[in-house]
A and B are shown apart, each in its own frame.
Chain A
């Protein structure tokens, strides 16, 4: 716990601009809300809401946890907004189209994902945070950075693109072994998707091997990102209820909620394993 918070503060002080912003108000220990200079026209002090990010590969249980956390937070009286990949009005469907064709190049795809991210951030997430909502992000810039980095796009380049992004208040990483992710994904859809197995990278003709190698590369990027950005690492192989309990505890302490008691409603009880 203290380890992750220390590295988060270190990441904040590593950037010249963040440091300046943070020291301006005389609170050096709190990192700036942005990695670099804020987006044009955004005043960080207006953002009274909280941004909670859940990262992790497909099959790590992210979506399940977000459904449960949304119900819990709403029952505690907090309004929740969600975001995720390819959900922007501007280019969400276009990316789906590009992925279906398999003809898009890595840089174009990376920048389309960037457009998708900032469209959601500027037009949905920042307004929500200005209104004091809790934003639960089903993946964030870290997945986008990891995916592009394993395809050979420079890490510094990628961090440069996202330096105007909002720094999350809490970033959880649901870490699972690639083999476990494979089992879960296969069980869910009876197949493994082209992109989740990194088939554009020609790693192996065997789909299982390709998936494992690709997800291992992504995992290594996440290990690096976790150190750089101070992720809270959780064992994604634990039971849904156990992972959820840890998430609730950390979020509750951040928001000042006293009770972390929660039992899913009938509608969500099937998720509770």
Chain B
């Protein structure tokens, strides 16, 4: 709210020095945010989306776990606590595949800038923390297009955990990693589970070219940096509204 510095994204008229988008078999681009719960990633992606949306860019926002197709199965599995690490992972992969094949891929081919709140790295970090083999997970999601930018929002474990615990009356069973039998105390289990996920994310910074973002930086300052990086790495004018 205190952030009044909304500059317009670069357009065809104000042509910036841009590095061309990496070679892809489609004209669209994919920007992803990742990080543990409470790292501030959703807030930042929301602000990026608003910035582009207000100026009329061809964008689409997508988030994890939103396909109606597998929602009933996910709900059933979670309610009755039937999910094993493998079925948990496969069900989420099916859900992601549905979104990938019916939303993300057509939009990329149709020349959209797609913004994704969580992507395959969430599965690598989370399902890996549940005991699925990294090799198996990498194969499972190998159909997913590689993002043009992956922002990794990193906040210290205590900061992130406190943000979540303070805002929620009760942590859910799977969310807290209770299925792993780490601890009978939900808050304790959540903390240990998130720590494992955080470690898995950290390991991917280099292997998957994450852009590391410090989640403790002030919101508007961090957003400014995020917009700058997007402007540098993506040829935004391709997604700009047509001017007469």
Contact = CB atoms under 8 A, between A and B. Distances in A.
A interface: dominant SS: helix
Nearest to A38: B133
Given A91-B73, A104-B69, A160-B136, A111 B93 contact: yes
A36 B86 CA distance: 14
A100 interface: no
A37 B97 CA distance: 24
Contact of A90 (B69, B77, B93, B95): B77
B87 interface: yes
B82 A90 contact: yes
A36 B72 CA distance: 31
B48 interface: no
Interface residues of B, number: 31
A164 interface: yes
A122 B238 CA distance: 49
A118 B86 CA distance: 7
Closest 3 CB pairs of A and B: A160-B139, A111-B94, A40-B131
Most buried by B among A40, A157, A161: A40
Contacts of B98: 104-105, 108
Contacts of A40: 84-86, 130-133
29 contacts: A37-B133, A39-B84, A40-B130, A41-B131, A90-B73, A90-B83, A90-B87, A98-B69, A105-B97, A105-B98, A105-B102, A106-B101, A107-B97, A107-B100, A107-B101, A108-B70, A110-B97, A114-B94, A115-B73, A115-B90, A115-B94, A118-B86, A118-B87, A119-B82, A157-B139, A160-B136, A160-B139, A160-B140, A161-B139
Contacts of A123: 82, 84
Interface in B70-109: 70, 72-73, 76-77, 82-87, 90-91, 93-95, 97-98, 100-102
- The size class of the interface chain A forms with chain B is 20 to 34
A6 B70 CA distance: 42
Contacts of B73: 90-91, 94, 112, 115
B interface: dominant SS: helix
Contacts, number: 90
Contact of B97 (A89, A94, A108, A160): A108
Nearest to B99: A108
B66 to A, nearest CB: 14
Contacts of B90: 111, 114-115, 118, 161
Given A40-B130, A94-B72, A160-B139, A108 B82 contact: no
Interface in B34-62: none
A163 interface: yes
Interface string B155-192: 00000000000000000000000000000000000000
A4 to B, nearest CB: 28
Given A94-B70, A118-B86, A157-B139, A111 B133 contact: no
Given A157-B143, A161-B140, A108 B87 contact: no
A271 B140 CA distance: 41
Nearest to B131: A40
Contact of B70 (A36, A39, A41, A112): A112
Contact of A164 (B83, B101, B136): B136
Contacts of A37: 133, 136
Most buried by A among B70, B72, B83: B70
B235 to A, nearest CB: 29
Most buried by B among A39, A89, A112: A112
B142 interface: yes
B77 A39 contact: no
B142 A157 contact: yes
B139 A115 contact: no
Nearest to B71: A94
A118 B94 contact: no
Interface in A118-160: 118-119, 122-123, 157, 160
A161 B140 CA distance: 6
Given A90-B82, A108-B94, A164-B136, A119 B87 contact: yes
Given A41-B131, A115-B90, A118-B84, 7 more contacts: A40-B132, A40-B133, A90-B73, A107-B101, A114-B93, A115-B87, A163-B136
Contacts of A122: 84, 86-87
A153 B189 CA distance: 38
